[in-house]
Amino acid sequence: MTDQTAVYVAVDGSAEVRLFEIGESYELLRSAVEGMIECVHLGSIGVDMWLNEEGKVYDLPENLFATYLFAREFGFLDSVRGNVIFTSTDHDTGETIGLTQEQFDALEVALAQLMTAV
């Protein structure tokens, strides 16, 4: 089995690529968001954004990149709290899979757009 690529974005804005195997994604997602996971599908760029579902309850710091993507996708502002990680989904099997190059590029473009807006 080949490594799958995810992109992790911390609340401080730092980002890194993380590798995982299909079928072994739960621990990657849970450890990345440091808690219970929640998935928000960003259909415009075809990625899944995984976040800490209790981020607001625990008053985690806002993740500006994730908040920007959420507002851009859904048309309203809702603060995303805590670290996030981005993956994709195999829609035939429901498995969490790695990002394609196009999805990775779309995240880079979105980050560049955020940086010019700030």
Residues 20-79 have pLDDT tens digits of 998 889 999 999 999 999 999 999 999 999 999 999 999 999 999 999 999 999 999 899
Residue 118's pLDDT is: 67
Classify residue 41 by its DSSP letter: E
Residues 74-105 have pLDDT tens digits of 999 899 999 999 999 998 999 999 999 999 99
Query: pTM, whole model, 2 decimals?
Result: 0.94
CA–CA distance, 89 with 103 (Å, rounded to integer): 12
The per-residue b/e assignment along 92-108, b for 16 or more CB within 10 angstroms, e otherwise, is eeeebbbbeeebbebbe
pLDDT at 106 over 80: yes
